Chain A
Amino acid sequence: MQQDPDSQVVLSRVGDDVAFGAENLSVPRDEIWNRVHRALEAVGLNLPLDRPTSALSGGQKQRLALAGILAMQPGLLLLDEPTANLDPGGVLDVRDAVLRSVQETGATLVVVEHRVAVWADVVDRIIVLDPGGGVLADGAPGAVLGRARQSLLDAGVWVPGHRPLTRPRHDSGSGEQLLSAVDLTVSREQARRRRPARPAASGIDLDVSAGKALSITGPNGAGKSTLALTLAGLLPAAGGAVKAHPALARGVESSPFRWHSKNLISRIGTVFQEPEHQFVTNRVYDELAFGPRQLEGGVDADERVSELLERLRLTRLAEANPFTLSGGEKRRLSVATVLASRPDVLVLDEPTFGQDANTWAELASLLSGLLDEGTAVVSVTHDEDFTEVLGGARLHLAPDGETGDSGQPATARGLGAHEH
């Protein structure tokens, strides 16, 4: 089993997908359906067999993949960061499903992971690989985590009970208002004449101010990313409005969605969850110079680029192709490319997802520095520690169905109410 939930699913219906592996092993038909039922039960997916697999959440897809593997009745389960792309709830669901099925079938479990805390309590043995080759430590979890603790920390592994050191916030910001949402409804669909867009979240009021952080939290499907993209001027508002204040608009109109892209990048920068989506050239240096070159008025691109390369420790990679970088380097580069055009507002979608502890700490410190310099930072995140480091206001989106009797979409709760 691998990381990306979308490529763990083969067929388009739940039952067929679980049966796929058993079919390939030439298991007789009646036995296949027996196994399908047992496997789905073992992973705790109580779904009809003809449910479309595209309707499942990331965590459900990973459990479905696990059921497909169990239906093959393997003696060994090999999992490669199976929870890397899931929210905290999904992580626990998948882990518990794995444990339950391993206990039932007596299969051996091998899991590759850098978030050690998820599995540390349940495995019998941990092997730490040396980046230079060979084995760094091998033995019972308690012993290994004790003995190799420092080298694990150095290597950026998430060791249980340790939070990486980050730069503290100093300045709480001037607080000049930059961006406001007024009774905002967000949706990824375009409204048609006969069919209005289905809202992902509605009734949102918020302010984004210079030097202040805003964290958008809530479970999967509550419309967090959609809200961030709407604030960033990439999706139109489905209702209500996103308004840029004069301090941010600087002479262009007040709706960020209508801005020309060269006006957008110098005002609001957006960092997507998947760094590769934002790479537009084939050299790290050009990637960083791309933003400044779009801007008018004699910006010295070279100067900005070398400064950013230095600041984000990418100097030795200046000539490399962005697609060949490691996960942490890609993340640092994607943030740097957006910073290159010096936006007043930075919007980040799950910036810490799947990152090792070192990249995490760097990112948190960098953003804390930017906040002190007066940049506004809006982040969509599940990461409690990250939210705590940045401080500022928090907006919690409640999921569909919890808010009332009429199937209302998500609404904003605890609106920037408490500062940390």
Chain B
Amino acid sequence: MSTDVMAPARSTALLSRANPVSKLAAAFLITIALVLTVDWVSATIALVCELALLPLAGLSLRVLLSRGWPILFAALVGGYGTALLAEDSGAVVVDWGIITFSEGSLQAGIAIMLRGLAIALPGIIVLASTDPTDLADGLAQKLRLPHRFVLGALAAMRLVGLLLEEWHTLGMARRARGVGSNGGYAGRFKASLGQALALLVQAIRRATRLAMTMEARGFGGAERTWARESRYSILDLWVLCGAAVITALAVGAAVVLGTWNPIF
């Protein structure tokens, strides 16, 4: 019954067939361009393009909202904070004593919010359309990252689901011992702390055993072969071209409309 974060059913979405390395490069390109400027034109264009690409990653707007709402919330808060603190310019829109929003500060707030979303979305698209095992293969075989670290991290991530289960079991086991019956909030906090410590102990034990298993299977040598080859296909070229087009559109429009606002 573990939560299967590691091996979801193979997605049939187009982007899930692209190489994870090219997807990462594409996301990186768009992100870099957006980080360089704070303006609503480039952010809006990038955001619209990214939303249009969602179906290719097998995501619907509904799924995105139900799982990614914390990001939307963070963007809204970021935008609100910026609008509140940015220098006022232009006509005053809202005036509640010390709290004032002017056209200029509102514009800055909206720009920050859109930019936040446009920067977060490529990451979500890559994550949603990428199998962790494929990603590890790509990182180790194409980017030549050290395979010991990549595969170690992959094996460790598989334990996350097991940890969740273990947390629930520990909670019940400790209630059965009468933990947390005394003291209000302080007592409960102490009990949670104890439970976290117990989880840590179990996690370390399990990790030690897993490490032994991996060593017994010959893990840790300098050379190894790969049963699954990480390959580039023509699709990867399209992914990179797509990212280049989105970046060019966003930056170009901002420059032409005169909103380009570099952070430096």
Given known contacts A2-B212, A235-B172, A277-B170, A261 and B179 CB-to-CB distance under 8 angstroms: yes
- In Å, the complex CA distance between A236 and B219 comes to 44
Set of chain B residues within 8 Å of A55, measured between Cβ atoms: 4
Interface centre among B10, B133, B176, B217 (most CB of A within 10 A): B176
Given known contacts A22-B227, A26-B224, A261-B178, A54 and B6 CB-to-CB distance under 8 angstroms: yes
Q: Secondary structure of the A side of the interface?
A: helix
Q: Secondary structure of the B side of the interface?
A: helix
Convert A49-68 into 0s and 1s, putting 1 for each residue whose CB lies closer than 8 angstroms to a CB of B.
01011110000000001001
Given known contacts A11-B155, A32-B227, A24 and B218 CB-to-CB distance under 8 angstroms: yes
Q: Does A234 contact B (CB under 8 A)?
A: yes
Is the beta-carbon distance between B209 and A2 smaller than 8 angstroms?
yes
Is the beta-carbon distance between A7 and B206 smaller than 8 angstroms?
yes
- In Å, the complex CA distance between A235 and B177 comes to 15
Given known contacts A25-B218, A264-B175, A270-B176, A12 and B133 CB-to-CB distance under 8 angstroms: yes
Q: From residue 1 to 60 of chain A, which have CB atoms closer than 8 A to chain B?
A: 1-2, 4, 6-13, 15-16, 19-29, 32-33, 36, 50, 52-55
Given known contacts A4-B209, A54-B6, A264-B178, A11 and B217 CB-to-CB distance under 8 angstroms: no
Convert A263-286 into 0s and 1s, putting 1 for each residue whose CB lies closer than 8 angstroms to a CB of B.
011000110101011111000000
Q: Does A167 contact B (CB under 8 A)?
A: no
Set of chain A residues within 8 Å of B10, measured between Cβ atoms: 50
Set of chain B residues within 8 Å of A52, measured between Cβ atoms: 4, 6-7
- In Å, the complex CA distance between A53 and B4 comes to 10
Which stretch (B42-50, B55-63, B98-106, B194-202) binds chain A?
B194-202
Set of chain A residues within 8 Å of B172, measured between Cβ atoms: 229, 234-235, 270, 272
Q: From residue 195 to 245 of chain B, which have CB atoms closer than 8 A to chain A?
A: 198, 201-202, 206, 209-210, 212-214, 216-221, 223-229
Given known contacts A22-B227, A24-B217, A29-B229, A278 and B174 CB-to-CB distance under 8 angstroms: yes
- In Å, the complex CA distance between A162 and B223 comes to 51
Nearest chain A residue, comparing its CB with the CB of B181: A262
Given known contacts A234-B175, A265-B177, A2 and B225 CB-to-CB distance under 8 angstroms: no
Is the beta-carbon distance between A188 and B213 smaller than 8 angstroms?
no
Set of chain A residues within 8 Å of B213, measured between Cβ atoms: 2, 7-10, 65
Is the beta-carbon distance between B176 and A280 smaller than 8 angstroms?
no
Give the contacting residue for A337; candidates B177, B198, B219; CB below 8 A. B177
Q: Does A69 contact B (CB under 8 A)?
A: yes
Set of chain B residues within 8 Å of A54, measured between Cβ atoms: 2, 4, 6-7, 158, 161
Q: Does A418 contact B (CB under 8 A)?
A: no
Q: Does A290 contact B (CB under 8 A)?
A: yes
Interface centre among B1, B168, B225, B226 (most CB of A within 10 A): B225
Is the beta-carbon distance between B158 and A11 smaller than 8 angstroms?
yes
Nearest chain B residue, comparing its CB with the CB of A8: B213
Nearest chain A residue, comparing its CB with the CB of B157: A12
Convert A63-100 into 0s and 1s, putting 1 for each residue whose CB lies closer than 8 angstroms to a CB of B.
00100110010000000000000000000000000000
Query: Can you list 5 A-B pairs with a CB-CB distance of less than 8 A?
Result: A16-B133, A29-B225, A65-B213, A270-B176, A276-B198
6 extra A-B contacts, CB within 8 A, seeds A15-B227, A261-B179: A2-B212, A6-B162, A20-B214, A22-B227, A54-B7, A54-B158
